[in-house]
Amino acid sequence: MFNQNFILISLLVLFSFRGNAQNLQQVTSLSHNLMPVPSTLRFTAGRLSIAPSFTVAIKGHSDARLQAAIDRAMRRLEARTGLTFARGLSNDTASATLVIQCQGPGKSIPSVDEDETYSLEVSNSQAVLIVPTVIGVLRGLETFLQLLNGDKDGFFIPAVSIQDKPRFPWRGLMIDVSRHWQPMEVLKRNLDAMAAVKLNVLHLHLTEDQGFRIESKKYPELHQMGSDGQYFTQDQMREIIEYARMRGIRVVPEFDMPGHATSWLVSHPELGSQPGPYQIERRWGIFDPVLDPTNEAVYKLLDGFLGEMAALFPDAYIHIGGDENEGKHWNANPKIQAFIQAKGLKDNHGLQAYFNRRVLEILKKNGKKMIGWDEILHPDLPKDIVVQSWRGQQSLAEGAKKGYAGILSNGYYIDLIQPGWQHYLNDPIPENTTLTAEEQKLILGGEATMWSEWVSPDTIDSRIWPRTAAIAERFWSPRDVKDVDDMYRRLAAISVQLDGYGMLHEKTYGAMLRRLAGPLVSDENTVGTIKKFVDIIEPVKGYKRGTMQNATQFTPLTRLADAARPDSARARDFAKTIDAWLYSQDAFNKSRAVDLKNHFTDWQRTGGLIEGEIIKSSPLLTEALPLARDLYEISDIGRDAVEYLSSGVVATDEWKRTNLALLEKAAQPKAAVELVVIQPIRELVIAAAEQEKRKSMTATEWKKTIKEMAAPKKQ
Amino acid sequence: MFNQNFILISLLVLFSFRGNAQNLQQVTSLSHNLMPVPSTLRFTAGRLSIAPSFTVAIKGHSDARLQAAIDRAMRRLEARTGLTFARGLSNDTASATLVIQCQGPGKSIPSVDEDETYSLEVSNSQAVLIVPTVIGVLRGLETFLQLLNGDKDGFFIPAVSIQDKPRFPWRGLMIDVSRHWQPMEVLKRNLDAMAAVKLNVLHLHLTEDQGFRIESKKYPELHQMGSDGQYFTQDQMREIIEYARMRGIRVVPEFDMPGHATSWLVSHPELGSQPGPYQIERRWGIFDPVLDPTNEAVYKLLDGFLGEMAALFPDAYIHIGGDENEGKHWNANPKIQAFIQAKGLKDNHGLQAYFNRRVLEILKKNGKKMIGWDEILHPDLPKDIVVQSWRGQQSLAEGAKKGYAGILSNGYYIDLIQPGWQHYLNDPIPENTTLTAEEQKLILGGEATMWSEWVSPDTIDSRIWPRTAAIAERFWSPRDVKDVDDMYRRLAAISVQLDGYGMLHEKTYGAMLRRLAGPLVSDENTVGTIKKFVDIIEPVKGYKRGTMQNATQFTPLTRLADAARPDSARARDFAKTIDAWLYSQDAFNKSRAVDLKNHFTDWQRTGGLIEGEIIKSSPLLTEALPLARDLYEISDIGRDAVEYLSSGVVATDEWKRTNLALLEKAAQPKAAVELVVIQPIRELVIAAAEQEKRKSMTATEWKKTIKEMAAPKKQ
């Protein structure tokens, strides 16, 4: 428990000074909500009151970006406190509530070697933020805002001493704006949220089989014919880049090539490896259209286009994608195969490396460095490229051993609906790494990837947040900050702050549920029942949804699987409740058994209402019928198990087998979602039949035994 | 009951054809959610199934605006049904699900004399929308979408025959973007909502003491110095105008003059009636700065500026405001008073009329007509101006008698937080009008006015919607459509549709409540308790908030009064419940008394929780303390009264007096909000003491007696 350790340390410090009970009281109550957790932090006694007299003064360097950041922070502080502060900055550094001592501006273009260090000292009388650059101010102000607390005496920042800097310099979020178009406001609000959790790279996946999303003035046919009119103009992109720069965030553009390039070929079929014609792809998957690396016209267009993009995007890096080219169209083209022979390129992989070298020349000519997915790794490529690994830590580490810098994305695919703790415990440099210290420096960080097959502008926030805040902590905080319970406690608080800053992950949930209610929507009870139901449902994980729903780019994303969200907090709470009842010293407690049975009765009622009246009136929920029946049934099973356990009657093996089989069926995904409260009920059922064992076991042995017996079979 | 009348008529029609029980069943269940109600509508037997095979075909005229409207409608239908339709239009008018027969494009610029008629015939096999112009298609498609219904057999449109056209041609929403800046996305989403309820004028209040919100290329100092950088560029405004045009909505710009003009004088103090200097006004109220009508430089600037605006805004009208100039700066300026003497203008009102004539000349030169508030009415002005009346129907009617066209805004001031039914029953031409038919034609309609002293982009939707949908019905539907209960029933359904179309009035409510929870925000129960509390609170009405809170343009709008919403549905439900229990045939029913007492106990618990733990942790709610105590107390009183009534024990006069006094105190506004559930409790208390009277009365007499005794004293 990282957080508790710190409190313990500060307690020891306190006792050595004062050692009285009042301070003990004061300091132990400080469980903070910081995310990411700073690299060092020590709470001290005291608090800085936040009142209408709140002012900020700057000592040392000042510039427009710094002042805008202070203004944004003050407006947020006003919104959260309801207080009105005087406009503008104070000139009085002695009396200002917050003093910022800044040495310099930071890079004019946000850079991977930016100094993001800050130190924040808060006492009863003042907060002082000391930073080498404006980037540090941006990071430190977010920490300051996260520290805001309140009680009956008003709002305050607890006295604290923080020295902080990131573990990794490349902390990104990739947004795929191509498969489903994501307009300006999606990027802007997500940049705000990224800044709040100290992410510093927005990677935009700008071209795909399904869409070409950036205006080219040299080749306007690319976006005109490849985007259904849904693309960023260059003016808009400059606005995004500036918005990001103001928040200390880089914008890295990706133009995926030579594969994933159908949308380019709609206007330029002559650049493809087969004659075409090509149309914007509407389905999901890996497709065969691919640029023809043997065609000099390809490089001519890339030279013009990438030159134009190099001027538009100020970042040092351009991402060329490079992933998932299966080479079928290359195999089917004798001219291309002859080219491979003639040039001694061995195979398609060699041809792609040839293509990459040619693209690299263009990038270098334009002063840019190359980044691409694992597939770009090839002995022929120089060492100054960066590899983004979708394959995993091992692939990344192998790259580092060969001298290639890299970032990790495997394990951070937030589109795959895994719970936050899995992403959180996934480390770009795991504890058991075999890399040398020198090699470890090549691991620059990581990126969460928001692929957009299954998200619309209405739902994308609910897939990105709050889980990406946990990933942001992984990239920023020390490796040993990994207490999952504490992460979830803080994540809940940060999630609501992000909601207050304009994210829609909470706000659209209600709207999605109301839509599911269909004609019953004005009945608040119905919407409440649907919420109870969807609260314990998650979309299916991994790539399963594509196998369950036959969807295209045109499919509306307004169904049950779109309303349901990853990482159900309700299911986590339920699992904890069952754990406490089943495995604590006074397990099977009778009075809490009553609560549990009521809980199951309520779920059963929910399932019954959905199955009955609600589905009858709301065709959008028809697909939920088997799930509603499952919920009805598993609630019954859970209540029976609790009854067995609390009354001390041992359930028969027959009863156990029957009900485990029913639970197994209920655990199967339906309608591209799954009920995520089955596992604790499975434990209840097994415990009901095995309860005699507990008499001869410690609580720990008992827990271990049941958990092992209940463990889901590997699929 | 307008709606029921229609059903009755269609029943009669049905019986004459078929007269069997099954059809009776089918047709009586058709209570529709249309808002505004069409001028004639008749449900028939049958339903048009909405399935993935849904297609639209056009017969006759087609253009880009029509096609875009169909595309938007199809996307909305997809989102609400979860179905995916084929892209594009069908060529097969025989088999298409919806056929649109359109005769012509409508005006190239939306106009006040636009033909908005449409007829919609839906049978089992097809829907046919027949319209003279594309504007009619826009209106008819919204009706079609509002008809969407669903049951266990899927989604459908009920068979229906509708002939519809608006009662008034000018149906507007004014948004004040000046006092609190409202950016692009606020206007765009509200244009979507306006179109959904068939409003056709967006009136933008673009200049005020507190802000000059439109870019002038001729006088850039106006917006640069008068707006804090918050203004619409001309490109943005063209985008809004086009967005509105695509939805058949006019954009009428208002430049308020000669008063309400402080923001102009920041850059042009020489045009003021006192020497200045001037600063952007930050407070609310009526201020003295005013243009100097005796200064030719004023007309020179207006000539340039209005010429520029006349080119930017294609609408036939320009609004010159003209309201609330108290003339103090004119009185204090001897040169101005001398001018009035010299020109024989009588007084300040005469001077303002002189000013208006000069401005009118400029507008005419630019091909524009003038509209302004009541104050512009002056015998010297020609008859082709339009008067927007904030004063009321009488003022409007007097204008009409003099030959002036007018629109009504008095009674539609949605910033004043009145309940929807008050706006709904406010008629531009009341039944008892003394206007001749010819004069009535001069009443063009009305506008809801969203003045923005107390709204931010986060809260503005909650003040506009859903109440403005009821106002939209007043402007569109026949005068005799005025059943308040039925209006509220339909309003609840429309409100959720607007939510689905992107309005934030529902979505931000949760976010506001979460912010109020402060440090307790991750506890869902706390947020639920706060919701229960705020659900039965409304912001104070009229101009009372300004007398209770000392606010400026900088005050954050994130407090209790901002989270609370107008027209509490929960309070309406509560009043109905008490009415039913108190005045029905089996009044004082004992088993329902138990429910009522539980209800009061729950409120009491809510008040107690807020007063205790919640306020202690959340400084934003400190101001709610007296309200929480009031809720605790009135719940106690209510429960006691129910106990007296259900047990048949007569309460003493002393008890009645004491508790009525307590209720009176609880009814007083605090923290700029008020508890809106007091009145039914007052009735309970009086009934408890007077219950003997009921024995000698009919239910109707009893109700009348108690209602009269409980009527709040006129203030």
Write a three-state SS string for A602-659: HHHHHHHHHHHHHHHHCHHHHHHHHHHHHHHHHHHHHHHHHHHHHHCCCCCHHHHHHH
Residues B140 and B212 occupy one common structural domain: no
- Where helices occur in B502-619 by DSSP H, the ranges are 507-517, 524-534, 544-548, 560-563, 569-583, 590-609, 615-617
Dist CA B24 CA A20 (whole Å): 81
Contacts of A615 in chain B (CB under 8 A): 152
Q: Is A518 on the interface with B (CB under 8 A)?
A: yes
Q: Could B514 and A504 be called an inter-chain contact, meaning their C-beta atoms sit closer than 8 Å?
A: no
Do residues B205 and B256 touch, judged by C-beta distance below 8 A? yes
Task: Find which of A496, A498, A506 to mutate to test the B interface (most B CBs within 10 Å of its CB).
Answer: A496
- Please check whether residues A142 and A191 belong to one and the same domain: no
**In the prediction, which pLDDT does A355 show?**
96
* pLDDT tens figures, A148-195: 999 999 999 999 999 999 999 999 999 999 999 999 999 999 999 999
Cβ-based neighbours of A352, under 8 Å, separated by 6 or more: A258, A293, A322, A325, A327, A375, A376, A378
To which H or E segment does residue A204 belong?
Answer: strand A201-208
Q: Which residue of B151, B461, B549, B572 to mutate against A (max A Cβ within 10 Å)?
A: B151
For B79, the closest of A78, A514, A558 (CB atoms) is A558
Considering all CA atoms of chain A, what is the largest pairwise distance in Å, rounded to the nearest integer? 85
Q: Are residues A321 and A363 in the same domain?
A: yes
CATH of the domain at A8: 3.30.379.10
Locate A413 and state its tokens: 């695919």
A218 in any annotated domain: yes
Looking at the fold, whether A573 and A438 belong to one and the same domain comes out as no
Q: Are strands A154-164 and A40-50 parallel, antiparallel or unpaired?
A: antiparallel
- Name the stretches of chain B with pLDDT < 70: 1-30, 714-715
Interstrand relation of B673-675 and B211-212 (parallel, antiparallel or unpaired): unpaired
CA distance B437 to chain A (A): 40
Mutant choice from B186, B514, B531, B549 vs A, greatest count of A C-beta within 10 A? B514
User: Which residue of chain A comes nearest to B458, CA vs CA?
Assistant: A502
Parent domain of B535:
507-710
Average pLDDT, chain A: 94
Token pair recorded at residue A9: 């340390």
DSSP state letter for A88: S
* Interface-testing mutation among B32, B151, B498, B522, with chain A (most A C-beta atoms within 10 A): B522
Question: Does residue B660 sit within a domain?
Answer: yes
Structurally, chain B folds into a number of domains equal to 3
Q: A256 and A197: one domain?
A: yes
Specify the DSSP element, H or E, that contains A221.
helix A220-226
- Higher pLDDT, residue B230 or A586: B230
**Whether this model's pTM surpasses 0.90:** yes
Tell which of B125, B142, B164 closes a domain.
B164
Which residues face A318 on adjacent strands? A370
Do A153 and A213 have their domain in common? no
Pair A40, A82: CB distance under 8 Å: no
CA of B623 to nearest chain A CA: how many angstroms apart?
Answer: 11
The closest alpha carbon to B678, from B603, B610, B623, belongs to: B603
Closest Cβ opposite residue B519 in set A150, A514, A554: A150
Q: Which residue type does B702 have?
A: W
- Other beta carbons within 10 angstroms of residue A626's beta carbon come to 14
Within B62-183, strands assigned E span 98-104, 118-122, 127-133, 149-151, 154-164, 170-176
- Shortest Cα–Cα distance, B568 to chain A (Å): 14
**How far off is chain B from A496, nearest CA to CA, in Å?**
7
pLDDT in tens, A465-523: 999 999 999 999 999 999 999 999 999 999 999 999 999 999 999 999 999 998 877 78
Query: What are the residue ranges of helices labelled H in B568-589?
Result: 569-583
User: Helices in B30-63 by DSSP H: which ranges?
Assistant: none
How far is A75 from chain B, CA to nearest CA, in Å? Answer: 8
How far out from the chain centre does Cα B383 lie?
30
Q: In B, which residues are within 8 Å of A495 by CB distance?
A: 522
Q: How many CB atoms lie within 10 A of CB B149?
A: 19
Whole-number pLDDT of residue A520:
78
Residue type (1 letter), A336: I
**Tokens representing residue A432 in the block:** 């058991």
Same domain for B304 and B158, yes or no, is no
B469 and B534 co-located in one domain: no
Task: Looking at the structure, tell me whether residues A562 and A657 fall in a common domain.
Answer: yes
Q: Which residue of A has its CA nearest to B151?
A: A617
* Torsion angles phi and psi, residue B198, rounded to 5: 70, 25
Share of chain B above pLDDT 70, in %: 96
Q: Which residue of chain B comes nearest to A613, CA vs CA? A: B152
Q: What residues of chain B, 130 to 149, have a C-beta less than 8 Å from chain A?
A: 149
Question: Do A523 and A400 share a structural domain?
Answer: no
Angstrom distances, CA of residue A123 to CA of A99, A660, B366, B436: 12, 58, 64, 76
CATH number at residue A386: 3.20.20.80
| CB neighbour list of residue B618: distance below 8 Å, 6 or more residues apart | A150, B516, B517, B518, B519, B520
Q: Given A121, A147, A164, which residue is the final one in a domain?
A: A164
Domain co-membership, A12 together with A103: yes
Number of inter-chain CB pairs under 8 A, A vs B: 132
Question: How many other CB atoms sit within 10 Å of the CB of residue A118?
Answer: 27
Q: A279 CB near a chain B CB, below 8 Å?
A: no
String of DSSP letters for B241-264: HHHHHHTT-EEEEEE--SSS-HHH
Per-residue pLDDT, B30: 54
Please give the positions of B annotated as active site. Answer: 324
| Distance from the Cα of residue B463 to its chain's centroid | 7
Across the range A260-281, mean pLDDT stands at 97
For residue B589, what are the contacts with CB-CB under 8 A and spacing of at least 6? Answer: B581, B646
Plot region of A324 (φ>0 → left; ψ -120 to 50 → alpha; else → beta): left
Considering CB atoms only, which of A521, A559, A622 is closest to B496?
A521
Identity of the residue in A80, A492, A521 whose CB atom sits nearest the CB atom of B522 = A492
**Eight-state DSSP code of residue B276:** -
- Flag whether A400 is in a domain: yes
Judge whether B482 lies within some domain. Answer: no
Residue A491 domain-assigned? no
Indicate the residue of A504, A510, A552 with minimum beta-carbon distance to B506.
A510
Residues in chain A within 8 Å Cβ distance of B622: 152, 154
- Closest CA relative to residue B537, chosen from B682, B634, B424: B634
The count of other CB atoms within 10 Å of the CB of residue B86 is: 12
Q: Which residues are paired to A90 by β-bridges?
A: A57
* Backbone φ/ψ region at B373: left (φ over 0), alpha (ψ -120 to 50), beta: beta
Percent of chain A surpassing pLDDT 90: 91
Question: What tokens were used for B238?
Answer: 């063209």
Burial A280-308 (b: 16+ CB within 10 A, else e): bbeebeebbbbbbbbbeebbebbbebbbb
How close is the nearest chain A Cα to the Cα of B698, in Å? 34
Sequence-ordered strand ranges (E) for A465-569: 537-539
- The answer, for A506 touching chain B at a CB cutoff of 8 Å, is yes
Which residues of A does the annotation mark as catalytic?
324
- The verdict on residue A678 lying in a domain is yes
Using the 3D structure, point to which of A164, A196, A224 is the last residue of a domain. A164
| Residue A250, domain member (yes or no) | yes
- Give per-residue burial for A372-381: e unless 16+ CB within 10 Å, then b: bbbbbbeeeb
A70-89: pLDDT as tens digits: 999 999 999 999 999 999 99
Per-residue buried b or exposed e for A574-599, using 16+ beta carbons within 10 Å of the residue's own CB: bbeebeebbbeeebbbeebbeebbeb
d(CA B114, CA B350): 36
* Contact in structure between A80 and A148 (CB atoms under 8 Å): yes
Q: B681 versus A379: which is more confidently predicted?
A: B681
Q: What span, in angstroms and rounded, lies between the C-alpha atoms of B371 and A580?
A: 71
The reply to whether A522 touches chain B by the CB within 8 Å rule is yes
Is A152 an 8 Å CB contact of chain B? yes
Same domain, B518 and B613: yes
In Å, the largest CA–CA distance within chain B is 85
Block residue for tokens 């109600």: B37
Tokens of A239: 């606005």
- The reported pLDDT for the residue numbered A274 is 97
**A358/A367 Cα distance (integer angstroms):** 15
d(CA A221, CA B170): 43
- Please state, in angstroms and rounded to a whole number, the distance separating the CA atoms of residues A161 and A45: 11
**pLDDT at position A96 over 60:** yes
* A396 closest CA partner among A373, A416, A418: A373
Whether residue A493 is contained in a domain is answered as no
B581 vs B576: CA distance, rounded Å:
9
- Cα–Cα distance measured from residue B620 to residue B622, given in angstroms and rounded to the nearest whole number: 6
